[in-house]
Amino acid sequence: MKEILYLEVPTPNIAAVRSWLQVDFQPGHGEKILTSDGFRLQMSAETTNASAAIPEKLPTELSVFVWSVQRTTYLKVFRWADQPLPREKQILQRLRTEIRQQFPHNYPEPPAIDSQQSIFEALASYYPLTVKYFQQMPNGEYDLKRAYWWEQRWREGVRNPRQPKQVVFLQSRGAGEQGS
């Protein structure tokens, strides 16, 4: 079994996402079998490549399911077989595209801050409790500016997602290294 898709769906309404998956989403290929948290997509014998024998004799299907944590719904897709299934790439692309259309990111922009104005004044009418609590903190204005900056950076990442940079690298043993 291999995980082949992981998505965060920006809604706390897991029932709406589950219903959309089970009722409205049409993968275009295979037989959709509903489960309690999503569906299984079985590929028929006609759509699987008979010459590419799957040695482990696992079902030729995808398992799609959702769960929710802290006001966000998550979706995963697992493939039972080691080898990609026919039209798998197209099915995953369709799922990714259609779920983003159905459940788009909806994050209202925080107000712009005028450099002549304190951050407390700029945000008070939008986020009164946030301003109140940061005003009570030592270095509250500095900390709120940092939080605001991180929020802007996060929103930019949502608008323009990029593949994260690789930070862990595998290193093969060179000729000069000794094994023990």
DSSP codes, 43-101: PPTTTS-TTS--TT---SEEEEEEEEETTEEEEEEEESSSSPPTTHHHHHHHHHHHHHH
Residue 53 and residue 22 share a domain = yes
- Position 169 scores a pLDDT of 77
The length of the chain is 180
Dihedral sign, Cα of residue 168, residue 172, residue 173, residue 179: positive
Asked whether residue 18 falls in the same domain as residue 69, the answer is: yes
pLDDT of residue 47: 46
* Interatomic CA distance for residues 96 and 61, integer angstroms: 18
| 180 is a domain residue | no
131 located within any domain: yes
Same domain, 57 and 131: no
Task: Answer whether residue 171 is part of any domain.
Answer: no
Residue 164 in any domain: the answer is no
* Helix (H/G/I), strand (E/B), else coil: 8: strand
For 175, the token pair is: 């000729």
Alpha-carbon distance 83 to 1, whole Å? 10
What does the pLDDT read at residue 144?
95
If asked whether residues 26 and 73 sit together in one domain, one would say yes
Number of domains in the chain: 2
Domain that holds residue 24: 2-102
Residue 71 and residue 136 in one domain:
no
Same-domain pairing of 20 and 97: yes
pLDDT at 51: 46
Instruction: Compute φ and ψ for 88, nearest 5 degrees.
Output: -60, -45
On whether residue 107 sits in a domain, the answer given is no
SS3 (DSSP) at 35: strand
Residue 136 located in a structural domain = yes
8 and 97 share a domain?
yes
Q: How far apart are CA 154 and CA 159, in angstroms?
A: 9
Asked if 5 and 95 count as a contact pair (C-beta separation under 8 A), the reply is: yes
Tell me, yes or no, whether 85 and 22 share the same domain. yes
Contact indicator for 103, 9 with CB cutoff of 8 Å: yes
**Do residues 9 and 97 both lie within one domain?**
yes
Please list the pLDDT of the chain residue by residue as tens digits (180 residues).
Answer: 889 999 999 899 999 999 999 999 999 989 999 999 999 999 875 544 544 554 556 678 999 999 999 888 999 999 988 888 889 999 999 999 999 999 998 777 888 888 888 999 999 998 899 999 999 999 999 999 999 999 888 888 877 877 777 777 777 766 555 555
In a domain, 149, yes or no: yes
Strand partners, 152: none
